[in-house]
Structure 1
Amino acid sequence: MKIIRSEVSITEPAFGREISLFEEPEKLLLLDIETTGLSRERSAIYLIGFGHLSGNNIKTVQFFAEHPAEEPVILREGLSFAKSFDILLHYNGKHFDLPFLEYKALKYGTDYPLKKLREFDIYAAIRPLKKLLGLTSLRQREVEGFLNAAGDDPYTGRELIRVYHDYVKAPSDELLSPLLYHNREDILGMLNILPMLRYREILSMTPGYLGHRINSYPGFDGSQKEELIIELSHSLRLPADFRSLNGSVFISFEENRVLIRVPSVQLTLKHFYDNFRDYYYLPFEDTCIHKSAAAGVDKEYREPARRETCYTKASGLFVPGCKTPGFTLFRPEYDSMDEYISLSELNKKEALLSYGTALLKELIDKRT
């Protein structure tokens, strides 16, 4: 077994604001492991890496198994090292690192102190932001790239499995170096992506209204298209500007401005009423009428409304709908998932501000 210690000096770290969220930053322990595969039963842990803050330095401690037979040794020594910390910081460790370590601790009868630590999963914290930020993946390296904080490690964890097997056969510093470097970069990278947490402030922000306009442009088919552009202000201190396209909604976040662009389409749609038992459907007019107003309609021209026929129709320009009070939602049919709002409803800045804010918040996944 090898124990490798290193130290990196930091000045004015980008993550300073986020690290202050933790009561005692020096009691914070970063964790990342390297394994010979994804299966806890068939694969071995060959490297357990930790990182912790010490003044203006980040210290890393790596427990490396020179042979898979040393797995119980690095497990015992690594878990013993973790005992003196209070909070465990990891990236999706809840679904990989921690179950792997706990399984191995049970297998070898080793004390498992990590359950006693509070933990913070960066991956789980930023997962709701994936759609809003237009990220195709939440792999740690992609998130680092989004923040322009990507390292220069050329390897993936999968690629290093073969490097480790080669090391076991013929140990050398040349083979050891990329194994340690990859793990250390993942540990340091966790701190570098902590500023991602600032994007969660979008959910609670109160934007201001700057303006709106209807923009005409030629479509791919040569026809004339229109879009609604809403410009909002914000006072958030985000780590980086971003643009994203979600369905038909385009969003651009800049330093103090948000630009939202949605298509405006000429359609004939239906607004469905929930209390369908209070309505009659008029087949010849293809609409419904409340029973209190149906006294003058002959019985042969009306029938009890069903969920699917309890609607009134409207034609005009529509924009994508959102779940916010105060707007009338329209759909092509009752069971359609596509919802729209009449552009005519967005005729005041209060309505435009409410609509734009709702679009932003709907792009944040609120599931835990």
Structure 2
Amino acid sequence: MLVTQDILNTSEYEPNHFLLEPGTMAFDIETTGFSHKYATIYLIGMVYFDTIKNEWILEQWFCEKASDEYELLFKFNAQLKKYNRIYHFNGDQFDLPFIKGRMALYKMDCAPYISYDLLKIVRPFKKTLGLENLKLKTLEKYFGYHRDDPFTGGDLIHVYEVYKDTKDHKLFQTLLLHNYEDLLGLVSVITHMPLFDLLKQMKDDVMDISEIYGYEEEGVYVIQFPLDDSVNQSFDLPLYQLIINHQFCTLRIPIQSVDLKYYFPNPKDYYFLTTEGYAIHKNVGKYVDPSHKIQATKENCYILKGGNFLPAYKHLNLPFHYYYENYTDVQGYILLEDLATEEDLILYVRKLLTLL
């Protein structure tokens, strides 16, 4: 088994990178196929912070021949006992079952670990980030990481087979480069874990918002509140723009200054006034000339309301009236003036953030 080690210049990741937490590493494997029953692991790469040397280490273990796999797995198991908080990409689905499956063939029990699968962490925010897919390379591109390696893991299976026969050093470098770039890409995504932690708090409605203010600005309602995390990212979402600028969060929400419809429940209790263009309750409508009224239906059982409106959805369960352009609309609006207190504003913001 060949071992290569590189000291990374990762000053841009410090001082709060998640890989600096004790006993933490990122890893990635390369295999000769997709089934642990018929394929082998020929390369494992790791990134970890060596607290003794005070250095970031990228280490790769490479099987020159198939029989090296036992040594590779044995040493990786020992590594897991030191670095058992493991970050990976789709490792819960592929890498870890593959490793444990290969270990079982050698009568080896995998050391316990705490798993952080970046694919699972990122998946709920695919639309928020505007990603076309959830491949690691797509995430790398989103966060501005550029790789030189053009291959996929599947592309390199044949390259490894040729290497075993020829021991060609160029092929060896090609195999290492792909894994090396995967690891650097993985580390670059882990750098943005504070962002995903923050987005998860927002989506799960567990944000602690204790201070907030809002104001109108040229057809936009701006809401701002402070954050505990230092994150810098912005998103253009269907209902609003979200700007996270270090320790401050801003929502810019378009104001609709129009006439909208409030639909009454129980249309059977209402008349629609054909001359006026709105519905009234039958207790009042019984005094109206029969030629000016008809039985209300769910489509016309409304009154018109003018004002400044902000977007919302019924399923957000806000304690305000909802207004719509048409009965069949899914998205509705609430009156800006209904956000009369700080508590109302905080509630509205918390509910909007669950739409991430």
State the superposition RMSD in angstroms. Answer: 4.1
2:99 aligned partner, one-letter code: L
- Partner of residue 164, structure 1: 160
- Partner of residue 42, structure 2: 46
Note the alpha carbon deviations across 1:245-299, whole angstroms, 9 max, x for none.
22253333334554433444465544345x639x613244576656777776899
1: distance between equivalents of 2:20 and 2:290?
68
2: distance between equivalents of 1:104 and 1:347?
62
Note closer, same or farther for the CA distance 1:324–1:90 as it changes in structure 2 (3 Å cut).
same
Q: Which residue, out of 252, 259, 265, partners 1:261?
A: 252
Contact 1:33–1:49, Cα closer than 8 Å, also in 2: yes
Spell out the pairing of 1:290-309 with structure 2 (5 A cutoff). Answer: none
Q: Which residue, out of 223, 226, 231, partners 1:234?
A: 226
Query: TM-score normalised to the size of structure 2?
Result: 0.73
1: distance between equivalents of 2:80 and 2:247?
44
Pairwise CA distance, 1:127:
3.5
Pairwise CA distance, 1:44:
4.4
Note the alpha carbon deviations across 1:94-119, whole angstroms, 9 max, x for none.
1221233334445x3542415x3222
- Partner of residue 93, structure 1: 91
What are structure 2's unaligned runs of at least 5 residues? none
Note the alpha carbon deviations across 1:163-219, whole angstroms, 9 max, x for none.
3344234322211113223323433443443332222335225363263212xxxxx
SS at match of 2:13: coil
Contact 1:133–1:242, Cα closer than 8 Å, also in 2: no
Note closer, same or farther for the CA distance 1:194–1:72 as it changes in structure 2 (3 Å cut).
closer
**Which shows bigger deviation, 13-22 or 174-183?**
13-22
Give % identity.
24
2:135 aligned partner, one-letter code: R
2: distance between equivalents of 1:304 and 1:258?
45
SS at match of 1:193: helix
Contact 1:133–1:243, Cα closer than 8 Å, also in 2: no
Q: Which residue, out of 296, 317, 329, partners 2:322?
A: 329
What are structure 1's unaligned runs of at least 5 residues? 215-226
2:252 aligned partner, one-letter code: R
Spell out the pairing of 1:279-290 with structure 2 (5 A cutoff). Answer: 280-284=269-273
1: distance between equivalents of 2:87 and 2:311?
39
- Partner of residue 211, structure 1: 215
Note the alpha carbon deviations across 1:42-69, whole angstroms, 9 max, x for none.
65433222333321123344332335x4
- Partner of residue 266, structure 2: 276
Spell out the pairing of 1:341-360 with structure 2 (5 A cutoff). Answer: 341-345=334-338, 355-356=348-349, 358-359=351-352
Note closer, same or farther for the CA distance 1:78–1:339 as it changes in structure 2 (3 Å cut).
farther
- Partner of residue 111, structure 1: 108
Spell out the pairing of 1:176-215 with structure 2 (5 A cutoff). Answer: 176-199=172-195, 200-201=197-198, 203=202, 204-206=207-209, 208-209=212-213, 211-214=215-218
- Partner of residue 81, structure 2: 84
- Partner of residue 223, structure 1: none
Contact 2:19–2:26, Cα closer than 8 Å, also in 1: no
Note closer, same or farther for the CA distance 1:12–1:72 as it changes in structure 2 (3 Å cut).
closer
2: distance between equivalents of 1:354 and 1:154?
47
2: distance between equivalents of 1:38 and 1:212?
56
SS at match of 1:328: coil
Contact 2:272–2:296, Cα closer than 8 Å, also in 1: no
2: distance between equivalents of 1:256 and 1:19?
19
Query: TM-score normalised to the size of structure 1?
Result: 0.71
1:33 aligned partner, one-letter code: I
Note the alpha carbon deviations across 1:62-102, whole angstroms, 9 max, x for none.
332335x4485366435533452333322221122123333
Pairwise CA distance, 1:10:
5.9
SS at match of 2:163: helix
Note closer, same or farther for the CA distance 1:6–1:297 as it changes in structure 2 (3 Å cut).
same
